[in-house]
Structure 1
Amino acid sequence: MTTTSWEDLVTSALLGTDRRPPAGAQPAADAPVALLDAAALHTVRRRAGLVPAPAAELPQPAPHDPRPPVPEAARRRLTMLLADRGAGQGGRRGSAPDLTELLPQWLAAANEHGYRAPAPVLPALLDAARARTDLRPQALAFAGPRGLWLARFNPEWKFALRGAAGGTALPAPDDAEGVRQLWEEGLFAERVALLGAVRAHDAGAALELLASSWSTERADDRLMFLDSLRGGLSERDEPFLERALSDRSRNVRSTAAELLSALPRSAFAGRMAERAASCVGLDHTGDDATITVEAPHECDAGMQRDGVLPQPPTGRGERSWWLGQLVEAAPLATWTARLGGRTPRQIVALPVADDWRDELHAAWCRAAVRQRDADWSRALLGSASADGPGTSSSAERSSLLSTLPEGERAAWVAEFIAAHGLSEAFQLLGVCAVPWARPLGRAVVDALDIARDAGSYPWSFSGVMGLAERCLDPAEADRLEVLTAIPDEPEGASPGAGGYWSEAFQRLVATLRLRAAMHEELRA
C-alpha cells in the first residue's frame, strides 16, 4: 500500500473499491478500510511536505542595518505601491494616478532620508526590482544589507548579488589582509564597493589591487571595474589604462580609450590630437577662413590599438567613420590652437568645405559630452529659439544639455519649448533635474494648455503628460486645478478631446498631490 499514488487512491474512491480496489487489496469487505488507511498515510506525508532528513545547518542571521525605520504612514504607502506595481492600465487611463510610476520617486526620497527597508516588504521589493531594471539601483540601496542577505536564498533574486551596492562591512582601506581577502572571496558588488573605498583612500593602492587579478577577471567584470575608474579619474590612471588598450575584449579597449581621451595631457590624447589635427585645418585663400578636412586614408595598427574601430556601420563610409572617431577622442583644446586661437563659438560658426560640416560637428558634439566641456556644448547648442549650429537631432541636444548646470539646462529647454512647442522637446525634458524648475514646469503646462485649447489629439501628448506627472513640482497642483474642467471644443477639434484633456489634467493634479503627500509622510 505504501507505493500507491494519491491519484490511484482518488480513482479508487471515485469508482468504488468493488470496481477499483486499492493496490494490494482484494475487492472485499476490507477494501474500503485499506483505502482509508492508505489515504491516511498519504495525508500525513502530504502535510509533512518533506521526507524526514537530517536538519540542515541554519543560515547566519541577517546583518544589522543601523538606519532608522521608515515612518508608519510611509511604510503603508510603500506596501500599497508595491502591491500595485503589476497592475496594467490598458486603454483609457482615467483620472487616477499611476502608482507604478510613483514607486521610483518614493524609493529615491526614502534613500535621501536614509531609511532602512521594513523587513516584511523585502520579498516584494526584490520582486519589483527583478521585474524592472530601472528600479534596481534605488531598490537595492533601500533594501540594504538585509536585502542582499535575503537574495542569497532565492535564485530569482541573484541579480542583487551582482548589482547591489554592498551588504558586507568593508574592511578599512589600510587593512591589507582584510582588503585582500574580500577582494579574492567577495561578491562582485562587494568587490566594486571595496575598489571604490580603497580608491578614495589611495588611488595607487586601488590600481594595484585591480591589477593583481586583472588577467583572471571575466570580460564583463573587467569592463565594469574599468568603468568604476571614471570617478576621480586622473593622470595616475594613465599607465593602467594604456595597458588596457591591449585588452582582449573590444569593449574594454573602447572604454579604456574613452577614459584616456578625458585626460587631455595623456599620451593617448596627444596621439589622437596629432592625428585629428592632421585631418582638419584652415584655408585662408578665400575672402573668409574655411575649415578644410582630409579624412584618413587608412586605419593603421596604431589607430586600432588606440580604440579606432576599422569597420564602419552599414551605410557609413570608412574615411568619415575613422575621422569621426579621431576628432571625438582629441582634446577640444586642440582646435583653439589649430584654428587660429578662436573660441568654440567662433570655430563652430566657420564654414566647412566639401560637405564635411555635419560629420565634423557631430564628432565635436560627442567630444564635448565625453569631456564634459560646457563651453563647447553651449557653442554647439546655440540659441534655444533657433536651430543650433552644431546639432541636428534631439539626441545630440540632450547629450550636450547634460553637460550644463541644472539651472541653465532647465532655462534652455523652457526657451526651446516656447519657441518650438512640445513635439521636439520630449527627449530634452528627460535630461532636466526633477522636480523641474518653475520656469520649465510652467513652459510645459502652458504648451499643454495651448494644445488643449486648439483641440489637438490629447493622446499625442501622453508622453509629455506622463513626464509632467513625475517631474512637475508638486506645489503647482493648486495652480493647475483650473485646467481640470472640460473645455469647449473648437470647430474641427478631435471628437471627445475635451473629456480626454479634462481626465489628463485631473490625473496630473491628483498625482502631484499624491507626490506631495508621499514626501510629507517620509518627513514625519
Structure 2
Amino acid sequence: MNGTPAPDLWEELVTSALLGTDRRTPPASAPGRPAPAALLDAAAEAAVRRRAGLRPATLPATRRPEPAPQDPRPALPPAAARRLASLLADRPAAGAGRRGTAPDLMELLPQWLALANAHGYAPPAHLLPALLDAARGRTDLRPAALRFAGPRGLWLARLNPHWRFALRATPGSGSGLPAADDVEGTARLWEEGLFAERVALLTAVRQRDPRAGRELLASTWATERAEDRLMLLDSLRTGLGPDDEPFLERALTDRSRNVRATAAELLSALPGSALAARMAARAGSCVAMDRTRGTPTLVVEAPHECDAGMERDGVLPKAPAGRGERSWWLGQLVEAAPLGAWPARLGGRTPREIVALRVADDWRSELHAAWCRAAVRQRDAEWARALLGSPSAPEAGGPGAVSLAERAKLLATLGAEERAGWVAGFIAAHGLSEAFQLLGVCAVPWAAPLGRAVVDALNIARDAGSYPWSFSGVMGLAERCLDPAEAGRLNALQAVPDEPEDASPGAGGYWAEAFQRLVTTLRLRAAMTEELTAPMPEASAEATTTAAAEAGSVPSA
C-alpha cells in the first residue's frame, strides 16, 4: 500500500462506477486488466485505506505505527452502535428539496453524542473514521465528537492530515494536562506549550484554583504578545472574583486597546470593584429623576466628551457609523455601572418600578438597552425579569424599548423552568412568527408547558391555512427539542387538513408531511435514548470484552 493516489481517488472511482467503465477508465488501473475488474480492485484497496485512516506515504514506511491505546470506557450496547452507524451514514442529497417524512439523521447526531458521553461509552473502533469525517465537516460537532472518540480517535487523527483538527482542538494532542499537584509539569507546559495548550492549562488551573491561575498568568504577562494577552486575559472569566481586581486594574493601562477593553468589561462584572464605582458615579450624573413634572420622569444628560479617565476605564471614544457619539458614550457608562446602585439613586424604587418610569426626550430605548446589557453582563435575574416584562404585553411581540434579541439574552440569565414559562406565555400571546430566537435559548428537551405552546401554535397556523414554509425553522427546532413524550399528542395532526379557500396551495399536504416527520423523529429520539440506557445483554458484553482484548488496537494499514 505504498502508492501515492490522488487525494480524491475515492471520488474518481465513484464517478467511474456511475458513468460506466466504457465511458471513463478507472484511475490507477493495472495494464491489461479488464476495466470492471480493475475498478473493483481499486475500490477494494481504497476502502481498506479509508477504514485504516492511514494515507500511503511517498516513501517506504520505516516502521509500523504504535498500537492504539486502550479505551477503558465500556463499549456501546449493540443497538446503540447500529444507530450510530446509521446516523453517520446519513448524508443529505445534493440539491435536495422537500424532505418528505424522513427524519434528518445528521441533525440528531449532536443529541446522540451528548447522550453517549453522558453515559461514558466508548465508540466502536470501525466507526471512528466516519465520526472524525463528520466532525471535520461540522465544527459544532467537534467538542462532543472528540470527547466520544477518546484516545483512539486522537491516535487515528495523527495518521490522516484531514483529521489534524482533532490534535489542534485537544490540548497536548492526547497527552493531557498536568495533574493538579504536578507543579513542574504545569510550569513547563506554561513556558513551552503551544498557545492553545497554554489557554487550556490556564482555564483548567482557574477552575480548580483561581488564585493559582492568576499568578500563572502574571508570571509571564509582561512578555506576552498583545493578541495572546487578550485571549489569556479572557480566560479569567473562569472563577472571576474580587481578588482579580488588582491585576485587572493594572491591565487597564495596557498598550493594547482591546486588552484594556476586556479588562474593563471584567471589572464591570464585579459590582464591588473601583471601576464599577467610577462608572456608577459617571452614569449617575447622566440619569436623574425630574420631580418637577406631574408624573415621575427620568431625564438624561449624555456625556459631552469622552475624557482620558473614561477611555482608561474601557469607554471606546469612536462611535460606530450611524451612531451618535453622546448616546454611544452614555450606553457604555450605564452598561458598566453596577445595577445595584440605581435603586438608591432613584428614590428606593425596585428594578421593576425603575423600568416602568417614563423617560424624557426619546432616551428610553437607549437607556433600557444599556440596562439589558448590564443585566446580562452581571447575571442579574431581578433586573432581567423587570426588563423582560410580561410575555403577554403588547410591546413584547413588536418594536419596543427592549428588542427580541435583547430579550433572548435576558432570558439566558433565568433558570430553565422560568425561561421556558416566559417563552410559552410569549407564544400563547404573540404566536410563533417572532419566537424563533427565544426558543433557541430554552433548555432541551423543552419543558411541558413550552412544548404544548409550540404544538398549539403550529396547530393554529395549520388550521388557518397559513403559509407553511414560514414555520419550517420552528418545526425543525421542534424535531430536536420537543420532549419525545409529546409524540402521542400529535397523532391527530398527521392527517391532511381541509384547506380554507384563502390557504396557500398545497399547504395541507405540507403540514401533514411536516407533522408526520415530527412524530417519526420524536419516536426515533425516544428509541435512541432507550438504546443507550438499556443494559447490555450478558453474552454481548462478554463477546465485546473478548473481542477488544484480542484486537488490542484499531486496525492499521
TM-score w.r.t. the length of structure 1 is: 0.86
Change in 2 beyond 3 A, CA 1:226/1:89:
farther
Higher RCO (Cα < 8 Å, 6 or more apart): 2
The residue identity in structure 1 corresponding to 2:121 is Y
**In the TM superposition, what is the alpha-carbon distance from 1:511 to its structure 2 partner?**
0.4
1:485 is matched with which residue? 495
Structure 2: state its 5+ residue gaps: 1-30, 33-41, 46-55, 535-557
Distance 2:332 2:296 in 1: 25
Secondary structure of the residue aligned to 2:178 is coil
Residue number in structure 1 paired with 2:48: none
Match of 1:469 among 456, 479, 483: 479
Structure 1 position 260 matched with structure 2 position 267: yes
Q: In structure 2, the residue corresponding to 1:277 is in which secondary structure?
A: helix
Distance 1:350 1:509 in 2: 47
Q: Determine the structure 1 residue equivalent to 2:533.
A: 523
1:241 aligns with 2:248: yes
Query: Matches of 2:57 and 2:405 in 1, distance apart?
Result: 58
- Quick one: distance in 2 between partners of 1:219 and 1:510? 52
Superposed, 1:99-110 pairs within 5 Å as: 99-110=105-116
How many residue pairs align between the two structures?
Answer: 479
Look up the SS of the partner of 1:278 in the other structure. helix
TM-superposed deviation, 1:118: 2.9
Q: 1:75 aligned to 2:85? A: no
Q: Say whether residues 1:334 and 2:341 are aligned partners.
A: yes
Contact 2:171/2:177 (<8 A) preserved: no
1:234-383 matches, within 5 Å, as 234-383=241-390
User: Could you say what secondary structure the match of 2:446 adopts?
Assistant: coil
Residue 211 in structure 1 maps to residue 218 in structure 2: yes
**Which residue of 2 is the match for residue 392 of structure 1?**
402
Describe the SS at the equivalent of 1:281: strand
Q: Give the deviation of 1:321 after TM superposition.
A: 0.3
- Give distance in 1, aligned partners of 2:152 and 2:194: 15
Q: Which residue of the partner structure matches residue 24 of structure 1?
A: none
Q: Does the aligned pair in 2 maintain the 1:391–1:397 contact within 8 Å?
A: no
Deviation at 1:213, TM superposition (A): 3.0
Within 5 A, what are the aligned runs for 1:143-222? 143-164=149-170, 167-217=174-224, 219-222=226-229
Indicate if the aligned counterparts of 2:207 and 2:238 stay in contact, CA closer than 8 A: no
Q: Does 2:71 align with 1:65?
A: yes
Give 1:443 deviation, angstroms: 0.5
Out of 401, 406, 412, the residue aligned to residue 402 of structure 1 is: 412
Shift of 1:107: 1.0
Is contact 2:79-2:531 (8 Å) kept?
Answer: yes
1:191 deviation in Å? 3.1
The change in CA–CA distance for 1:191 and 1:430 in structure 2 (over 3 A counts) is same
Shift of 1:240: 2.2
Q: Spell out, residue by residue over 1:112-164, the C-alpha distance to the aligned partner (whole angstroms, 9 max, x if none).
A: 11222333323322222222122122222222333334334444333333433
What whole-Å deviation, never above 9, does each CA across 1:173-197 have from its counterpart, x for those lacking one? 2321111122233444443343233
CA apart distance, 1:59 = 5.3
Distance in 2 separating the partners of 1:163 and 1:119: 21
Letter in 1 for 2:455: V
Alignment partner of 1:282: what SS? strand
Deviation at residue 239 of structure 1 after TM alignment: 2.0
- Confirm or deny: 8 A CA contact 2:110 2:144 kept in the other structure: yes
Letter in 1 for 2:416: E
Which piece of structure 1 moves more, 242-251 or 447-456?
242-251
Question: Residues 250 and 190 from structure 1, CA distance in 2 versus in 1: closer, same or farther, beyond 3 angstroms?
Answer: same
Deviates more, 1:237-246 or 1:285-294: 237-246
Write the distance in 2 (CA, Å) between the matches of 1:516 and 1:522: 10
Alignment of 1:20-39 (within 5 A): none
- Name the structure 2 match of 1:7: none
Amino acid at match of 2:476: G
Supply the AA of the counterpart residue of 1:278.
S
Distance in 2, matches of 1:77 and 1:222, equals 45
User: Which residue of structure 1 lines up, in the alignment, with residue 36 of structure 2?
Assistant: none
Answer whether contact 2:364 2:401 (CA < 8 A) is retained: no
Separation (CA, whole Å) in 1 of partners of 2:158 and 2:220 = 25
SS at match of 2:328: helix
Contact 2:467 2:507 in 1 (8 A): yes
Structure 1 spans left out of the alignment, 5+ residues: 1-34, 37-45
Q: 1:453 aligns with which of 463, 468, 489?
A: 463
Instruction: Tell me how far 1:91 sits from its aligned partner.
Output: 1.7
1:117 to 109, 117, 123: 123
Against the structure 1 CA distance between its residues 408 and 506, is the aligned structure 2 distance closer, same or farther, given a 3 Å change threshold? same
1:435 and 2:481 equivalent?
no
CA–CA distance in structure 1, aligned partners of residues 400 and 264 of structure 2: 24
- Give CA-to-partner distance per residue, 1:205-250, whole Å, 9 cap, x none: 2112122333444555444333332222111111222233334444
Deviation at 1:86, TM superposition (A): 5.1
Identify the range of structure 1 (240-249 vs 252-261) with the bigger mean alpha-carbon deviation: 240-249
Change (3 A) 1:213 1:482: same
Secondary structure of the structure 1 residue equivalent to 2:358: coil
Q: 1:412 aligns with which of 413, 417, 422?
A: 422
Instruction: Describe the SS at the equivalent of 1:383.
Output: coil
1:345, distance to aligned residue in structure 2 (A): 0.6
Q: Report the Cα distance in structure 2 between the residues aligned to 1:87 and 1:182, rounded to whole angstroms.
A: 46
Q: Distance in 2 between matches of 1:122 and 1:444?
A: 37
Residues 288, 130 of structure 1: alpha-carbon distance in 2 compared, 3 angstrom cutoff:
same
The offset of 1:492, in angstroms, is: 1.5
Report the CA distance between 1:456 and its aligned residue. 0.9
Q: Which moved more, 1:317-326 or 1:193-202?
A: 193-202
The sequence identity of aligned pairs, in percent, is 76
Q: 145-154 or 126-135, which moves further after superposition? A: 145-154
Q: CA deviation at 1:506?
A: 0.4
Distance 1:337 1:220, change over 3 A: same
* Residue pair 1:328, 1:366 contacting (<8 A) in 2 also: yes
- Which deviates more, 226-235 or 373-382? 226-235
* Cα distance in structure 2, aligned partners of 1:161 and 1:285: 66
Residues 303-312 or 372-381, more deviating: 303-312
Residues in 1 aligned to 2:264 and 2:400: alpha-carbon distance in whole angstroms: 24
- Shift of residue 449, structure 1, vs aligned partner: 0.5
Q: Tell whether the 8 Å contact from 2:388 to 2:402 is kept in structure 1 after alignment.
A: no
Per the normalisation by structure 2, the TM-score is 0.81
Counterpart-to-counterpart distance in 1, 2:474 and 2:530: 26
